[in-house]
């Protein structure tokens, strides 16, 4: 089994890359989906987060309004640190649980952990290989404002809360440059997957 971390910045194009990798046969574990499940109604993490931030961050169904929560944590570093300490250990526990089950069923799988804060948490050290998806900041801003309807200030707060992509790429075994056409990004992704397959074959 080859464990590969996939990271980048917000709105850098990780979704496109993971879609191609999934189509090529990689098993994707999405950290953001794990967080979404953890913050669902009735979950321990959800109760803990509501207890800390107050009921005004809840939606009518009892789940967390992630946009409201985002506006708090991306403007208050101490609150972001609290949330990370609450959520990240649970995310990696869920990830490890999935990997253990997968190892029993598909011991030769290529597993991709898609996580925006993989390097910031230090968890990239647990990966066999690391892919960084790179986009320039202007493109990130444009995507956030068009896709998520963020204001300039909201988009900037989210981007500046993460390690700069120029810094992240220094940790990468592979960099996928999402700075041109969609087709160019897909082609780079296919080339990286071919290298991962070769690496996985050498380890068997």
CA 16 – CA 68 distance, rounded (Å): 26
DSSP H stretches of helix in the chain: 14-24, 31-38, 44-53, 66-73, 77-105, 137-147, 152-160, 165-168, 182-203
To which residue do tokens 């869920």 refer? 94
To which residue do tokens 């990798």 refer? 21
pLDDT at 18: 97
pLDDT at 201: 85
Beta-sheet strand order (sheet of 174-177): 27-30, 110-114, 2-8, 129-134, 174-177
| Sequence-separated contacts (24+) of 58-62 with Cβ below 8 Å | none
Beta strand 129-134 with 110-114: parallel, antiparallel or unpaired? unpaired
The two structure tokens encoding residue 197: 């397959």
Per-residue pLDDT of the chain (204 residues; tens, 9 = 90+): 999 999 998 889 899 999 999 999 999 999 999 999 999 999 999 999 999 999 999 999 999 999 899 999 998 999 999 999 999 999 999 999 999 999 999 999 999 999 999 999 999 999 999 999 999 899 999 989 999 999 999 999 899 888 999 999 999 999 999 999 999 999 999 999 999 999 988 876
To which residue do tokens 């506006």 refer? 71
pLDDT at 203: 76
From the list 108, 110, 117, 111, the residue with the least C-alpha distance to 171 is 117
CA 174 – CA 164 distance, rounded (Å): 17
Q: Where in the chain are the domains?
A: 2-203
- Does the 2-203 domain belong in CATH 3.30.70.270? no
Quick one: DSSP state of residue 64? B
């Amino acid at each position: 089994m080859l464990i590969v971390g996939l990271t980048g910045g917000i709105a850098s194009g990780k979704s496109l890359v993971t879609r191609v990798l999934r189509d090529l046969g990689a098993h994707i574990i999405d950290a953001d989906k794990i967080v979404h499940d953890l913050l669902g109604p009735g979950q321990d993490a959800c109760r803990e987060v509501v207890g800390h931030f107050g009921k005004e961050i809840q939606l009518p169904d009892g789940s967390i309004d992630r946009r409201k929560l985002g506006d708090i944590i991306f403007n208050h570093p101490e609150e972001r640190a609290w949330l990370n300490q609450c959520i990240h250990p649970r995310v990696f526990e869920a990830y490890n649980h999935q990997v253990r089950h997968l190892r029993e069923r598909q011991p030769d799988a290529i597993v991709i952990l898609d996580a925006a804060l993989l390097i910031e948490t230090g968890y990239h050290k647990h990966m066999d290989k690391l892919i960084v998806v790179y986009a320039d900041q202007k493109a990130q801003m444009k995507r956030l404002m068009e896709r998520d309807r963020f204001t300039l200030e909201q988009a900037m707060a989210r981007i500046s809360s993460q390690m700069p992509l120029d810094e992240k790429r220094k940790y990468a075994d592979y960099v996928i440059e999402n700075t041109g056409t969609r087709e160019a990004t897909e082609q780079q992704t296919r080339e990286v997957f071919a290298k991962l397959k070769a690496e996985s074959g050498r380890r068997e």
